Structure 1
């Protein structure tokens, strides 16, 4: 009997793991089937479905104009990868490191590069696999451990031991993990539209609505097909994310211009440019939930209430994982793309948070 009691916890863990992976792969298959049916439906209706084609020639005009910062590159000794970033502000000032989401690149932080360069060395990074940063071929090169180590190595290469860390969407996921694993590196943590990773994994299993909103996480587990779906019809799916009524930027005055949208398409239309970003997601289920999860860094969480991908309730729950000063601001009628849609408000809230913490120290 005692032996049975000892085996029971392991048996329950095995059963839960089997159920979890059954859900993951079952939902992967369902999502793939739905996307395939959509493609076949569009073809059956006579809708033109152009095959993928890389964009030739010079970058989009908006990327050739005077930029909010300077293009820079750094090669990491340990991994051998070359990272691209755009930097603004004087060297030697405190570092503010900006981590973008999907499908974005450094340009999504253009408003913040201009705003915070007066007091910070602001660095908007192209994450591993994105933009002009090197993109390893294999899926295993995009595990969360690799992405966390990237940020640590970049700080070392830039000559800093700590920074103000800001992340949006998937960059928010990485920012949370850095604050958890290397709290000494993060002076202040600011996350935009991404909950604490454990909140995300627990919530998604209990709330069908969030499971549906996160269907792309499961769809991205499938080899090559997601890249294909994003590429057809001149990257229509990519444009749709930023422009549709449901998922796109909601503020009329802040919607991406034609040239800005073309910049995103140009970056992701380069040969192999989608595989790296999607490979980030192909490792997530093997890394979560976290064993160590408490955040001890002062934290600001900003959230667009009309986020089409994340339930706002997750923002409220996140505070239980922060054992320090925590501030949550939810912006009504704002979308997932918060720092681009409402840059003035976002910048003001960030300034307030940074100054507030400085006054506390004084």
Structure 2
């Protein structure tokens, strides 16, 4: 009898797996068709500009601004990869480690590097495959296990055994996972515009609206075509992500300057610079859902209500996975790029959370 019951169960598991991958690749095909139509439309309207690509040999001055910190490199023994980071604040102070999202790099934390260096050793990392950090060629090198191990190894290489960990977007996903897998290494967790990974995977399957907003996850499963689409019209997609009304930074006082935009264009227009970042997404469906869920350290979740990529309902649901003090702050009129959009408010909220937690410990 037991043997008979096992057969239907195995069939059910296989059927669910087949349905899941059918969904992934079907939606991937839909996204590819939409991208192809946009390409044809661009060629029809401006054929001369569609394939124009400015060669950027020299970085803009803002990337070497000494007020942001010092450019440093560390080579990890186990992986052999060399990581680039910018560090501000004195050595020996508590470590604050900053993990950027996509399509960003260490520079997206410029406001926080200046702000927190008075009391912390602030390190803004270029994640594996980004910027000046090494980019392994195979997508298997970008599985979540590898990305989590990177943060553990970097922490140890910097001479620390714990840190305040802050992540935005994809860096927020990694920050959640590091906090789950290595809780002893994270004293306080701060995540910007990314829910707990279990919330994300469960919510996206039940809410078609979020599935549509996350369409780029599926589009990025294709080889080479996503990278090609980013290069069109001199990286128009990249510029649009940060500046358009739909997805960009909305407040006039905090729009990216021309030099800021040029910094992003310089980094991502280098040969092969997009493949590593997009490879982060090419293994995501084989790594989720998670086996372990709970976060046991004090956690702050900051969210821009006008996020074009993440529905705000996921922020509140995240609360159930944090088995410690949890604070959620949703900022109205703020975009997905929250720490660049409203840096003064974000910095103030982080200071408040850090000092509250210090006071709570003393009591």
Scaled to the shorter chain, the TM-score interval is: over 0.9
TM (norm. structure 2) is: 0.97
Q: Report what 1:11 is aligned to.
A: 11
> Number of residues paired by the alignment?
362
CA–CA distance in structure 2, aligned partners of residues 233 and 53 of structure 1: 7
Asked if 1 retains the 8 angstrom alpha-carbon contact of 2:54 and 2:234, the reply is no
Q: Report what 1:343 is aligned to.
A: 343
- Ranges in structure 2 where 5+ consecutive residues have no aligned partner: none
CA–CA distance in structure 2, aligned partners of residues 65 and 157 of structure 1: 25
Please state how far the C-alpha of 1:52 moved relative to its aligned partner. Answer: 6.1
CA–CA distance in structure 1, aligned partners of residues 105 and 301 of structure 2: 21
CA–CA distance in structure 2, aligned partners of residues 219 and 137 of structure 1: 19
1:36-185 correspondence runs (5 A)? 36-46=36-46, 48-51=48-51, 53=53, 55-185=55-185
CA–CA distance in structure 2, aligned partners of residues 104 and 182 of structure 1: 25
CA–CA distance in structure 2, aligned partners of residues 316 and 13 of structure 1: 31
CA–CA distance in structure 2, aligned partners of residues 34 and 25 of structure 1: 14
Q: Please give the per-residue CA displacement for 1:34-67, whole angstroms capped at 9, x wherever unaligned.
A: 0001110121234544326463421113224434
Asked if 2 retains the 8 angstrom alpha-carbon contact of 1:95 and 1:162, the reply is yes
CA–CA distance in structure 1, aligned partners of residues 154 and 54 of structure 2: 30
CA–CA distance in structure 2, aligned partners of residues 111 and 269 of structure 1: 24
Structure 1 stretches of at least 4 aligned residues deviating more than 4 Å after TM superposition: none
CA–CA distance in structure 2, aligned partners of residues 112 and 258 of structure 1: 20
Asked if 1 retains the 8 angstrom alpha-carbon contact of 2:67 and 2:114, the reply is no
Instruction: Judge which range, 23-32 or 66-75, deviates more.
Output: 66-75
CA–CA distance in structure 1, aligned partners of residues 357 and 52 of structure 2: 49
Superposition RMSD in Å: 1.2
Q: Report what 2:286 is aligned to.
A: 286
Please state how far the C-alpha of 1:16 moved relative to its aligned partner. Answer: 1.3
CA–CA distance in structure 2, aligned partners of residues 143 and 230 of structure 1: 23
Q: Please give the per-residue CA displacement for 1:19-40, whole angstroms capped at 9, x wherever unaligned.
A: 1111000000110010001110
